[in-house]
Amino acid sequence: MLTVENLTISFRTDEGRVTPVQDVGFSLAEGRTLGIVGESGSGKSVSTKALMRLLPGNAEIGAQARMRYTAKSGEEIAIEALKPNARALRHLRGGEIGMIFQEPMASFSPVYTIGNQIMETIRLHRGLKGQAARDLAVEMLTKVGISNPDARVDQYPHELSGGMRQRAMIALALSAGPRLLIADEPTTALDVTIQAQVLDLMRDLQRDLAMGMIFITHDLGVIAHIADDVAVMYLGTIVETGTAREVLKSPAHPYTRGLIKAIPRADRLDARLEAVPGDIPSPSARPSGCPFHPRCAEAIAGLCDRATPPEVTLGVGRRVRCHLHETRAVA
């Protein structure tokens, strides 16, 4: 239902052009969840904002980029070609693709009630008014597990706790009936017990509504339990894709391997953690060749620091960008 190819995004800044996303491609099938994992500066949020055309004015999407989305009506939309003020774009935002952000307090307006904001969405995308819109808003709040929805619908965002706000945010996104939901670190600001509740909820809703979902997070633990497929990003490129099991159980890229080893787990208390050496470079000082080579223990001198690694296909939907696999494939 969604295919992204050759997506490159750059920003014009005072210090010159910065390219936080380089040649990214992924696809999503109906009813599946794609998890995008990456650390700060990996470009995971920026690339999904491009799907909604929500990038700031100084951003440029590369001319080669193709973003194809199949709408509810079956019509294929070329997202990159939409005019910024097109009616189709307004319908796409919310109506076709819903989005949830990390900080629900920042995404709700503080001066309108929760119900008011949900009803606005319903009015725009579902064409319902008055009592019918209100009934649907209450129904959505019930669906996301908010107790006493008849009273909550008239409350302001600050009157709800963090977990409740995130549930209300999900209700807001779903009230427009999207076919694809983009969730950008939706549980990062929540406590673990609340995170477990929200993850449960999102998994159930996604299954019931047969939505496609893109779930962005830095937490591989969350990925393991919500995603069907995973794309690992590092400094603006996707270094590895595959099913969640393949990527987490047998990671192919040295970065993914390092990341998995660096996660503290409670089962081996005495052992030292294996850190990935060095720091994440800033996107404005992207290393040449493979972006991971300065931190990679297996880097091949003269190759990894010069040539951008090609994408090597290891299986169906299983791809990795690393010179090590290229040489192995040849040998």
Partner 1 sequence: MIPDNSPLLEIRDLEVSFDLGKRGFFSGTRKQLKAVDGVSFDIRRGETVGLVGESGSGKTTVGRAILRVIAPSGGQVLLHGEGAPLDLVPLGRKALRPLRPRMSLVFQDPYSSLNPRMTVRDIIAEPLVVGGQLRDRDAIDARVREIAARCKLDLEHLRRFPHAFSGGQRQRICIARALVARPDFVVCDESVSALDVSIQAEIINLLRDLQEETGTSFLFIAHDLNVVARISHRVAVIYVGRFAEYAPTESLFFHPRHPYTHALLSAVPEPDPDLPFTPERLVGEIPNPADAPPGCRFHTRCPFAQKRCKTDVPVWRELASDHFVACHYAEEFDFRRSREPAGTTPAKEREIP
Binding site for partner 1 (CB under 8 A): 39-40, 161-164, 191-197, 199-200, 218-225, 244-245, 248-249, 258-260, 262-269, 272-277, 279-280, 282, 295
- For the beta sheet containing 212-217, the strands, ordered from the edge strand earlier in sequence to the opposite edge, are 97-100, 180-184, 212-217, 33-38, 229-234, 237-243, 318-321, 311-315
- What type of residue is 93? R
- Min dist. Cβ of residue 42 to partner 1 (A): 9
Task: Please say whether the dihedral angle defined by the alpha carbons of residues 153, 154, 158 and 159, taken in this order, is positive or negative.
Answer: negative
The residue (of 79 and 205) whose beta carbon lies closer to partner 1 is 205
Residue 160 in tokens: 């709800």
Pairwise CA distance, residues 258 & 296, whole Å: 9
The residue (of 69 and 292) whose beta carbon lies closer to partner 1 is 292
Let me know: does 252 contact 240? Beta carbons within 8 Å. Answer: yes
The residue (of 71 and 196) whose beta carbon lies closer to partner 1 is 196
- Min dist. Cβ of residue 55 to partner 1 (A): 23
- Min dist. Cβ of residue 72 to partner 1 (A): 31
- Min dist. Cβ of residue 244 to partner 1 (A): 5
The residue (of 297 and 330) whose beta carbon lies closer to partner 1 is 297
The residue (of 316 and 331) whose beta carbon lies closer to partner 1 is 316
**Could you identify the residue written with the tokens 């994992």?**
37
Pairwise CA distance, residues 239 & 237, whole Å: 6
Which of 5, 22, 28 minimizes the C-alpha distance to 182?
28
- Min dist. Cβ of residue 70 to partner 1 (A): 28
Let me know: does 104 contact 118? Beta carbons within 8 Å. Answer: no
Residue 94 DSSP class: I
- Min dist. Cβ of residue 317 to partner 1 (A): 16
The residue (of 174 and 259) whose beta carbon lies closer to partner 1 is 259
